[in-house]
Structure 1
Amino acid sequence: MWHWWHRFWRRWYPYMIYPPSPPPYQSQQQQTQQPTYPPYPYYPPPPLYPPPLTPEEELAMLEDYKKVLEEDLKEIQEDIQSIEKRINELREYLRKQGRQP
């Protein structure tokens, strides 16, 4: 059940970008030369997901999220229909040309 919550917050609250941490301080008394390595990539911590305060707030958030997902689904279905139409056009063209795939 946590999947909807994760997707909801990932969609509405993207990861915050933090500046990389400063390099550690090295004293001047160090006599041995250590090899230098490239810095590790910095990954920001994932955002904290505060739970809703009341069931009413959770219900409102879920209803809004459902609307957004339904809109996305509608757009994807329209894309699929246009792709299927183009596939049929190309098959018809190739059939008329005598080059059946």
Structure 2
Amino acid sequence: MDLSQNDWWTKAQEDKNSIILDVRTAEECEEGIIPNAINIDIYKGQGFIYQIEELDKSKNYYIYCKAGGRSGQACNIMNQLGFETTYNLAEGFVQWEGPVTL
């Protein structure tokens, strides 16, 4: 499900079962990350799948990338793998106005 920046961040903060997932490349992460995000690069293909399958499926995942496309794909992949709750940050990190960790 795509969420606006405010809805995504508010929901992630209020959700005691939330995990923030950054699916950008390591180079992109050098621009900063949303606090407490776990980085798993979607471009790693099967490696991405292996890392995702190690995650707890009972958690709620708040996913972002640079512009919202890859995180949308990640949501779809995770849903196919049995993750029930995934939220895509619409418009991604380029539009992000919330907190950032370098």
Q: Same fold (TM over 0.5)?
A: no
Highest relative contact order (Cα 8 Å, sep 6+), 1 or 2?
2
TM-score tier, shorter chain, comes to: under 0.3
TM-score after normalising by structure 2:
0.17
TM-score after normalising by structure 1:
0.17
Task: Please identify which structure carries the higher strand content.
Answer: 2
